[in-house]
């Protein structure tokens, strides 16, 4: 594996780890906060139980967060590839002689 590939994967892994910690913290805060949950009432439907409603919202959050984190991880690996290539070109062009 070339240094460029290793650096791109390292950048992607670091982003994934940081994003996972951020999303886990957000999830914990969002599920632990206590605010009144008012059932949505519409004609012809029974209101949802507040506990079930909160669980459904939490599942929706986790799904959306996982999709977003996955997309951003793929993007960060791509950007890491570009940055690693630029760094490699700069290192190859540097002959150590100073300007």
Q: How does pLDDT run across 24-50, given as a tens digit for each residue?
A: 888 887 777 656 665 566 666 666 677
Mean predicted confidence (pLDDT) in 54-68: 82
pLDDT at 85: 81
pLDDT at 86: 78
Q: Phi, psi at residue 82, to the nearest 5°?
A: -65, -45
Q: Give the residue carrying structure tokens 């150590």.
A: 96
Has residue 63 got a pLDDT over 80? yes
Q: Determine the Cα–Cα distance for residues 45 and 15; give it in Å rounded to an integer.
A: 43
């Amino acid at each position: 594996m070339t240094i460029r590939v290793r650096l791109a994967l390292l950048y992607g892994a670091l982003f994934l780890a940081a994003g996972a910690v951020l999303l886990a913290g957000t999830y914990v805060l969002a599920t632990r906060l206590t605010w009144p949950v008012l059932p949505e009432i519409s004609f012809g439907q029974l209101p949802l139980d507040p506990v079930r409603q909160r669980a459904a919202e939490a599942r929706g959050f986790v799904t959306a967060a996982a999709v977003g984190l996955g997309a951003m991880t793929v993007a960060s690996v791509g950007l890491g590839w570009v940055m690693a290539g630029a760094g490699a070109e700069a290192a190859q062009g540097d002959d150590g002689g100073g300007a």
